Amino acid sequence: MEKIKVGIAGYGTIGQRLADGVALQKDMELVGVADLVPTLAVRALAEKGMPYRLFLGDGADKEAFQRLGISVSGSFEEMIQASDIILDASPAGIGIKNKNLYEKNGVKAIFQGGEKNSVADVFFHGYANYEKGVGMDYLKLTSCNTTGLIRAVDCLDRAYGINKTAITIIRRVADPGDYHRGLTNALQIDKAPSHQALDLMTIMPHIQATGILVHTPVTHGHIISVIVSGKQKITKEMALKSFRLHPRIRVVSIAEGFLGNASLFKYARDLGNPRGDMYEIALWEDSIVESGDDIMFAIHIPQESVTIPETIDGIRASCRMQITSKEGTEKTNEYLHINHEQQA
């Protein structure tokens, strides 16, 4: 079977990780990555020996790359023409402009969560609505918080059925290395309901969802408190059984030393994961509480890497590599080595 050729627009926080993720897929070929300026990420790519080919978007200062000795393989449009599908990881609002080039060249594309839903045919999640993306030309991923939230809610919904959910998101204010949000010593609350709750209902319209979001002056990960109302009473033991069977949910506990977001980031580095990334969301066993007929739990969202598996699921769906969620997600998990074993 001929490999699917994948190009990546934007080599920033997400683009770097998408490139690494696609490069691990044995049934895909990474054509290259495209960017406009020699950012630190691009300079690091060059210093590592240019493992991925670099293409330049319109308006890029070619001389700036030449002065740094960074080799360039061609234009953004040339990368598009050599690809079957583009993963657009450009800044929010740029993807919709890039779509004109994708349509002109007859190439499929997957957009990240920052773009408006109207940019795509399907608002996509690898577990919750994979089949809706099969064969579609343009998909849009959910945001990092929504991606992880849906994993957990969909997990329980498939096992027991869910009527509604209410969430509180403790949101990191910026990615590591970002300075544009300033230096703060404050929390900021958004107007309810949060977009993550609304997005969940778009993907899973049979569930009522609402939520509150609080911005916090930290960088390594979000924490979401989730309350779920099942079609039947879900006990802690029932929830744990399902969570432990989900390959993209890592069940952890405070007793083990996972005290919060920093513990998980350090653990990922100790595992030797590149950049301290973790594809799985973490779910605290200690946080699972039964409240009447409802159940409550807390999850950690590694915002820089959590959407990578679902994006690769999107390639599989859009290009009809696998036509069911089970087949597609299992193949993605296999190549990304998401195979940690958990005691039931």
Q: How many CB atoms lie within 10 A of CB 343?
A: 5
Contact, 302 vs 277, CB < 8 A?
Answer: yes
Catalytic position from the list 144, 251, 264, 298: 144
Q: How many CB atoms lie within 10 A of CB 145?
A: 30
Report CA dihedral (210, 143, 92, 302) to the nearest 10 degrees. 130
Phi, psi of 284 (to 5 degrees): -75, 115
| Per-residue H/E/C for the chain | CCCEEEEEECCCHHHHHHHHHHHCCCCEEEEEEEECCCCHHHHHHHHCCCCCCEEECCCCCHHHHHHCCCCCCEEHHHHHHCCCEEEECCCCCCHHHHHHHHHHCCCEEEECCCCCHHHCCEEECCCCCHHHHCCCCEEEECCHHHHHHHHHHHHHHHHHCEEEEEEEEEEECCCCCCCCCCCCCCCEECCCCCHHHHHHHHHCCCCEEEEEEEEECCCCCEEEEEEEEECCCCCHHHHHHHHHHCCCEEEECCCCCCCCHHHHHHHHHHCCCHHHCCCCEEEEHHHCEEECCEEEEEEEECCCCCCHHHHHHHHHHHCCCCCCHHHHHHHHHHHHCCCCCCCC
* Known catalytic membership, residue 144: yes
Q: How many CB atoms lie within 10 A of CB 149?
A: 29
Contact, 201 vs 135, CB < 8 A?
Answer: no
Residues with active-site annotation: 144
